[in-house]
Amino acid sequence: MRVLRVLGRYLAGTLLVAALVTGGIAVRIIQVGHQDQRQVSDAIVVLGAAQYDGRPSAVYAARLDHARQLYRDGVAAHVLTIGGGQPGDRVTEGAAGRDYLLAAGLPPAALLAVGTGNDTLVSLRAAEVLLAQHGWRSVTLVTDPWHAERSRLIAADLGLSVRVSSVTTGPALDPGVEGRYVQRETLGTLFYLLTGGSSGAGSAVL
């Protein structure tokens, strides 16, 4: 019986620590989601989202519009749009984002597209290669508020000096989205911290 009591205490302690760690991650995701850390950087990096034959989804368009404003505010002279494509796509997320910003009036010389990766980790790894080729190490990431912390962690682990500037409009800010998005990102962040990889679990909230 004494052994069972000791094991029970260890189990309870383990569960408590796990709950505290998970809760801490969720709090951090919310905190970073409400911050705008923009600062003058070598490049603005826009995390990809769904696109339909070259037309960015509402989620992606909100990110691109935010990046356009950052560019006009002088945050960086270059904008990278990143993200691959789904099977059968004629256009990658990166290319769709570049074309969207080009049509919005940004100069071609300011725009670069990285059409690799179907998740944040793979896309940022591909972006880091291009950034390194240009000698750019400081970036301002643009994504949804609840996706910002995991993106920041990954970019920092890649050796980038990183700040995040999340969107302030669009579907990511719709009522009822935050709770589901934070839950998904908490699990994704925990998995990344434990394994250094992408969980690939679950469908996107948006």
Q: What pLDDT shows up at residue 146?
A: 94
Q: What pLDDT shows up at residue 61?
A: 98
If you count them, how many residues does the chain have? 206
Q: What pLDDT shows up at residue 24?
A: 84
Give the span between the Cα atoms of 140 and 201, in whole angstroms: 27
Centre a 10 Å sphere on the Cβ of residue 103 and count the other Cβ atoms it contains.
Answer: 8
Residue 114 has pLDDT above 90, yes or no: yes
Instruction: Look up the pTM and report it.
Output: 0.88
**3-state class of 142 per DSSP?**
strand
Task: Give 14-78 as a DSSP string.
Answer: HHHHHHHHHHHHHHHHHHHHT-B-----SEEEEPP--EETTEE-HHHHHHHHHHHHHHHTTS-S-
In the predicted model, what is the mean pLDDT of residues 85-92? 87
Which residue ranges make up each domain of the chain? 31-195
For the domain covering 31-195, report its CATH number: 3.40.50.620
Q: Which residues have C-beta within 8 Å of that of residue 124, sequence separation ≥ 6?
A: 45, 82, 117, 151, 154, 155, 158
Q: What pLDDT shows up at residue 193?
A: 87
pLDDT tens track for 145-204: 999 999 999 999 999 999 999 999 999 999 989 999 999 999 999 989 888 766 554 445
Q: Burial level of 173, CB count in 10 A (0-12/13-18/19+)?
A: middle
pLDDT tens track for 36-50: 999 999 999 999 999
Q: What pLDDT shows up at residue 201?
A: 45
Best CA proximity match to 140, nearest among 49, 70, 55, 69: 70
